[in-house]
Structure 1
Amino acid sequence: MKAMQYPRLRHRNFRGGLIASDALLMCFYMQHPNGRIAPAVIRALEIFRQRIHPYQLAWYAGDGQSEPLDDAAWEMIRKEIFEPGPDISAFVQLWDDPIGLTGFHVDYRGLDVIPLPWPDRKDDVSVLYLRLPTAYLEEQGPEWVRTLALDLAAELPFNSGYVDFVLCADVGTFHEAIELIRPRYPGVHLASNAAELCMNTWVDGVHWMNFLGQPVLGKLGGVTGLRERLDLPGISLQEMSGDRVLITLGEQPETGDVKAGQTLPLHRALARLLEPHLHHQTKWVGDLRPEDLLRWERRFLD
């Protein structure tokens, strides 16, 4: 099955620079230090690099600037993930184009210790953030994307994760970016253009593909409890090893286009179930007030 055509959601600043763009996003949150998950992350990254061929991650974040990603650089990055040094977190950024917002982007933040010893960062976790162009979803189709995401997730000891059609923006421009989706596209997730660490074991919203691990899955009664409470046409549950599950809503990401009369009943059903476990921002995000962002985050509940 090929994906439908998705809207191109773009916002530029007064200089004409692109500061928000649509994308397909895969994000996995892991309450584990880098030293414990490094081999799994490397395996996932190697799968990702192989599967997106003929596209390629051609650049990485070097010492203050982008550098070409050749075989020697990749081996150096592998070593940095495995051995970042004492009291140093692993930090990897890869791109197909380091300037654009619309292409492939990998952002891995592997913390050296969890929880971090600072009160304002007590909820930070390790994150693997994988952004793909919307055109990739349209070209390959949702089944291809679903298989790729499952293969990546199988390698990772995630607490939660998701795959969805999103609007990526710098957090400082959320107040502008949200206006591209709030009036018309409630199914589009507003996401940062970099990994967000402060997830603890909460769940980052409701999506097309929802990966659940512990402790949330246990609090919901495990896979058996989910099957009893999400027995709706269009919702599929796939049990995964390690006491984890994938909840998929429909055959492909949905924008919830209000002009087309889309109401997203499956998103609403899952949101009601996950409500006690959903992450909510409690601080200002750029110029966007927390109460405005909370209203958006609760759009499937209110």
Structure 2
Amino acid sequence: MKKNPDTERTSKYNDLEKMSTTELLTNINKEDKSVPESVEEQIPAIQTLVDIILSKMENGGRLFYIGAGTSGRLGVLDASECPPTFGVTDDLVIGLIAGGDVALRKAVENAEDDTAQAWKDLQGYKISEEDVLVGIAASGTTPYVIGGIKDAREKGIVTGCITCSSGSPLAEASEYPIEVITGPEFVTGSTRMKAGTAQKLVLNMISTSVMIKLGRVKGNKMVDMQLSNKKLVGRGTRMIMEELDVDEAKAADLLKKYGSVRKAVSNSKNKLK
């Protein structure tokens, strides 16, 4: 008999509908507090995967995420935030979700049950041995993700995964599994809760660490961020003020002239030499 995923275990709480609002919020928060500790236990595994992704990217490779439902949406979210945050092209980190982009907003019936579709989706991006593929599935049993990982591994592509169940088929299929065991959800099986939070935390760690290692952060500043709105222009201006010890007007002029914090700072410092 197959082992049920840890994420499908029955909630430790019952009669949720009888709880007061305060009880609901308190108990959800109590469960959420355990998530960072579970992630911490996987830091060695996360480190291994980060270093491999970094080495591939330094040689022209890319990072792909595949997932379904909440897991797929989290992968797409992480990928989509890399260009504005770190100034990289939108083809360096790519997130794919079962059912295509329409599944970001609406569930696509049976999309996650197709074991062959992920590889078809990945072929559209000409994935190769230069790249890394990370499968995301809370239960570790999603056919779309497992199929994609198996197909990629057969082609010699480095594979990793993020799952929240121990000993899952996905972890078994992946070379570099990250298993953040979050236990039963407050609402039984609702992996958009603790499991989703754990996956988001791990994705933050992976992409942020890789981008820092690639030189996309200076000190603690996002010097390559895209200046796509007033808030970010203001942030960039303040960065230049701090780095060059100039007033706001001068910093704003430099940012407008050079178009990025990095260029404004480096060109100004070079002129002072």
Q: TM-score, normalised by structure 2?
A: 0.26
Q: When you count helix as a share of all residues, which structure comes out higher?
A: 2
Whose radius of gyration is greater, 1 or 2? 2
Q: When you count strand as a share of all residues, which structure comes out higher?
A: 1
